């Protein structure tokens, strides 16, 4: 479905605008490399699930550093080692206010759900809904998310949520499964190339706790209130 849309876009004279929700720089690396050939992209950083402020801030700065790197490539028309051509467009950045309390309130009662369960569904919908709202308010043609690149994320579930909120806000959702065609593998290559910080948990305190428990790292197994 994504490929068909991209073929249609390549045949158009005008490049459409895309608001790309970004969870982190590593996941964004391949998505941006791929999509900047087709869209005028604005990266939307909205991740209230990252309840540890220092982690949130570090990931935000890494996303901005990646964008600056890609924009230098466009400015210099130097794409050596990249799967990009001179069709690549500059990328902009938009950040929503940081509001971890909103996330914690939304998932109250779901703290013990396993990763990939109902708590994650609430989180996905919160971030995609805010992305759709921002896309509609700012006149974007499309919105989508980098989340589908993760092997731990169900692309079908994310696309279903995206399509649903797109109808509510009247802005088109670009369905994806960025992990396909070695997208996840490419994101690892790009992360190494640009020395991007690759975290070992999704961002929320519960994932951080569970990751620490699985690895026997008590330093990671802290409560949500400790992580704020």
Domain boundaries, the chain: 1-8+17-208
Burial bucket for residue 115 (CB in 10 Å: 0-12, 13-18, 19+): middle
Q: What is the pLDDT of residue 213?
A: 58
The fold for domain 1-8+17-208 equals Rossmann fold (3.40.50)
Residue 118 has a pLDDT of 95
Report the chain (228 residues): mean pLDDT per 10 consecutive residues.
Answer: 90 94 98 98 98 95 99 98 96 98 96 91 98 99 98 96 98 98 97 94 84 53 35
Burial of 69 (0-12, 13-18, 19+ CB in 10 A): middle
- Please, are residues 32 and 9 in contact by the beta-carbon 8 Å criterion? no
Question: What pLDDT score does 192 carry?
Answer: 98
Q: Which residues pair with 142 in a beta bridge?
A: 18, 172
């Amino acid at each position: 479905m994504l490929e068909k849309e991209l073929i249609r876009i390549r045949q158009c004279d005008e490049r459409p605008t895309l608001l790309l929700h970004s969870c982190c720089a590593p996941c964004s690396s391949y998505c941006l490399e791929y999509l900047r050939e087709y869209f005028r992209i604005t990266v939307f950083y909205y991740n209230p699930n990252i309840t540890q402020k220092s982690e949130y801030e570090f990931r935000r700065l890494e996303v901005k550093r990646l964008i600056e790197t890609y924009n230098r490539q466009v400015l210099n028309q130097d794409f050596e080692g990249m799967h990009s051509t001179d069709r690549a467009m500059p990328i902009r950045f938009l950040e929503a206010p940081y509001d971890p309390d909103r996330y914690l309130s939304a998932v109250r009662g779901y703290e013990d759900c396993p990763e990939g369960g109902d708590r994650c569904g609430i989180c996905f919908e919160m971030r995609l809904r805010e992305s759709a709202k921002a896309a509609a308010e700012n006149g974007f043609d499309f919105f989508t998310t980098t989340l589908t690149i993760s092997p731990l994320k169900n692309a079908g579930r994310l696309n279903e949520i995206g399509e649903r909120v797109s109808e509510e806000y009247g802005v088109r959702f670009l369905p994806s499964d960025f992990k396909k065609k070695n997208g996840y593998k490419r994101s690892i290559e790009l992360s190494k190339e640009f020395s991007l910080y690759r975290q070992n948990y999704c961002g929320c305190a519960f994932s951080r706790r569970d990751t620490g428990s699985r690895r026997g790292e008590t330093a990671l197994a802290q409560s949500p209130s400790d992580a704020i």
